[in-house]
Amino acid sequence: MASHVAYCGIDVGLKIHTVCLLGKNQETIKKYSIPNDIEGFRTLEADIDKNTLICLEPTGVYSVNLFLYFKRNGYNIKFCGTHSSFYFRQSRFNKKKHDKLDSVALAKYRIVNEDLTFEGSKLIEKLAQNNYVCDPDYIALSDLVDRYMKKSKRMSILKNKIKNIIDLRFPEAIQIFSSDRGCKAILKTLQHSKEDILNGKVKLDRLNEIQEKLKNSIGQYDFKVFDFKNYVEELRILEYEVENLKQAVKERLCVKGYSSLFNYWGLDTISIAILVTEIRNIKRFYKFNQNGCFNKKRSLKAFKKFLGIAVTSNQSGKHEGAHKLTKSGNMKLRSVVFMMAMRYISLKPKGKSTSSENNDLDPCKFRTMYEQLVEKGYKKLIAITKVMNKIATDLFFVFKNIAKTQNQKTA
């Protein structure tokens, strides 16, 4: 065992970890790589002692096993802050980057910034937490939503196939029914043979117009007749099943105590179900101060981070860097919030938007906010992002109030 090794930096990877060992005077003793397994850990263990100060980055699950092995064996191992280590390496090595250089930087980071290193107990605790409520009702609701989404996707595919066949068989149909070439009237028309339509043996809307266009049609009316009928029949069955699933989802939401969400404009049944199944217990985002009081700012930050719409910015001196989303969090929720924002800024709702006394999720408020931001010179995408953040704030307190009501009923 090399007792003279004072500092150890480990650049964590999926398959291998890169190690740098330094002496008391910061001289390099050894650099090498170890596999991410027990043999690799023992190889490193043979080169250090219990007084060696080990430093690594908190790279999620990749660093957990390594950290726990050396921590449980009594070694002095700590994490460094990801951002501070990044700037430390840049300042020391002039923006150069490779695994061996990173391991050197981490070893020297422990020398210079010992006060910024931290134990990994909170990280391990966070990874060990079960963030989801194992409630069979939520699981059943999530299953209904998944089935609805799959069938809706199949419906979209079928509608495209049907429209392609219509364009092949009777392209002039769009001139008669200009609203939609896949409307029920056109589907009903193409169920019949060309001769029956021209001879007037069937009853159809705008029969005279159809006969006139069909006489000189450039389409291939006799092509894909069998496929067309099968697609239309499958689409009819899917529409019935999707409507039943939607009704079942709504009933389960009401049973779980989320019926008040239907009062808010811009939220449909499936959007509400996605919010409920993904957020579940809003209390898991609650943060408290040392005096036990609810910390609004930290709680909102945790909730927005989960939704994937927390905004980060790069700033240096007087120059303000670009603001952007962190790109972390739940993609389903982020999509729902984005669609809510687009509805709010694009449409003008009729009548009252919500029955909430706090004016939560008021579309007029969001539309006004968006217009004011654009007038101030903000880019539209940035304005939409700010609207999304405000929607997330309202959603947090909407779900907080629902949780409070549910607790009062069960008490």
Query: pLDDT tens digits, residue range 175-230?
Result: 888 777 778 888 888 899 999 988 888 888 888 888 888 998 999 999 999 999 99
Query: For residue 404, how many C-alpha atoms fall within 13 Å in the half-sphere facing its CB?
Result: 6
pLDDT at 154: 96
pLDDT over 80 at 13, yes or no? yes
Q: Between 318 and 71, whose confidence is greater?
A: 71
Residue 66 forms part of a structural domain? yes
Of the three residues 128, 154, 171, the one that is the final residue of a domain is: 128
Mean pLDDT on 385-390? 92
My answer on whether 114 and 201 are in the same domain is no
**Residue 326's pLDDT band (boundaries 50, 70, 90)?**
low
Torsion of CA 83, 87, 93, 96, to 10 degrees: 60
Task: Give the structural domain span for 21.
Answer: 7-128
Per the CB < 8 A criterion, the answer to whether 234 and 150 are in contact is: no
Cα dihedral 14, 20, 21, 22 sign: negative
Of the three residues 74, 97, 128, the one that is the final residue of a domain is: 128
Cβ density class 9-31: b for 16+ within 10 Å, e for less: bbbbbeebbbbbbbeeeeeeeeb
pLDDT at 314: 47
Residue 94 forms part of a structural domain? yes
State the alpha helices, DSSP H only, in 73-98: 82-93
Residue 270 forms part of a structural domain? no
My answer on whether 384 and 308 are in the same domain is yes
Is 298 exposed, middle or buried, given 0-12, 13-18 or 19+ CB atoms closer than 10 A? middle
**Residue 324's pLDDT band (boundaries 50, 70, 90)?**
low
pLDDT at 305: 86
pTM: 0.65
pLDDT at 350: 54
- Going by their DSSP bridges, the two strands 7-11 and 53-56 should be labelled as parallel
**Residue 321's pLDDT band (boundaries 50, 70, 90)?**
very low
Per the CB < 8 A criterion, the answer to whether 248 and 144 are in contact is: yes
**Residue 291's pLDDT band (boundaries 50, 70, 90)?**
confident
Cα dihedral 112, 118, 124, 130 sign: negative
pLDDT over 90 at 7, yes or no? yes
Cα dihedral 366, 369, 370, 371 sign: positive
Residue 398 forms part of a structural domain? yes
Q: pLDDT tens digits, residue range 229-263?
A: 999 999 999 999 999 999 999 999 999 889 999 99
Residue 271 forms part of a structural domain? no
What is the distance between the alpha carbons of residues 380 and 322, in angstroms, rounded to a whole number? 14
**Residue 310's pLDDT band (boundaries 50, 70, 90)?**
low
Q: Between 130 and 22, whose confidence is greater?
A: 22
pLDDT at 287: 87
My answer on whether 329 and 396 are in the same domain is yes
**Residue 92's pLDDT band (boundaries 50, 70, 90)?**
confident
My answer on whether 193 and 311 are in the same domain is no
Residue 28 forms part of a structural domain? yes
Q: What proportion of the chain, given as a percentage, has pLDDT over 70?
A: 88
pLDDT at 75: 94
- Going by their DSSP bridges, the two strands 53-56 and 319-325 should be labelled as unpaired
pLDDT at 129: 55
Q: Looking only at Cα atoms, what is the longest distance across the chain? A: 101
Q: Between 3 and 235, whose confidence is greater?
A: 235
Q: Best-predicted range by mean pLDDT among 71-85, 117-131, 323-337, 344-358?
A: 71-85
Mean pLDDT on 47-53? 93
Mean pLDDT on 379-390? 90
- Kind and range of the H or E element at 210? helix 207-215
Is 3 exposed, middle or buried, given 0-12, 13-18 or 19+ CB atoms closer than 10 A? exposed
Q: Between 315 and 233, whose confidence is greater?
A: 233
- Residue among 245, 262, 281 at smallest CA distance from 143: 245
pLDDT at 1: 42
My answer on whether 45 and 150 are in the same domain is no
Of the three residues 256, 286, 303, the one that is the final residue of a domain is: 256
What is the distance between the alpha carbons of residues 5 and 401, in angstroms, rounded to a whole number? 57
What is the distance between the alpha carbons of residues 217 and 69, in angstroms, rounded to a whole number? 77
pLDDT at 325: 60
Residue 272 forms part of a structural domain? no
CA 55 to the chain's CA centroid: 32
Range in 45-59, 114-128, 323-337, 344-358 with the lowest mean pLDDT: 344-358
Is 154 exposed, middle or buried, given 0-12, 13-18 or 19+ CB atoms closer than 10 A? middle
- pLDDT, mean over the chain: 85
| Total structural domains within the chain | 3
- What is the CATH number for 173? 1.10.287.4070
pLDDT at 313: 47
Residue 120 forms part of a structural domain? yes
pLDDT at 323: 54
Range in 80-89, 296-305, 321-330 with the lowest mean pLDDT: 321-330
My answer on whether 393 and 340 are in the same domain is yes
My answer on whether 11 and 97 are in the same domain is yes
Question: Hey, is 322 helix, strand or coil?
Answer: strand
Is 281 exposed, middle or buried, given 0-12, 13-18 or 19+ CB atoms closer than 10 A? middle
My answer on whether 236 and 152 are in the same domain is yes
My answer on whether 397 and 290 are in the same domain is yes
My answer on whether 322 and 290 are in the same domain is yes
Q: Between 55 and 126, whose confidence is greater?
A: 55
Q: What proportion of the chain, given as a percentage, has pLDDT over 90?
A: 46
My answer on whether 332 and 405 are in the same domain is yes
Per the CB < 8 A criterion, the answer to whether 240 and 150 are in contact is: no
Mean pLDDT on 96-111? 87
Q: Tokens at residue 339, please?
A: 């669609």
My answer on whether 44 and 116 are in the same domain is yes
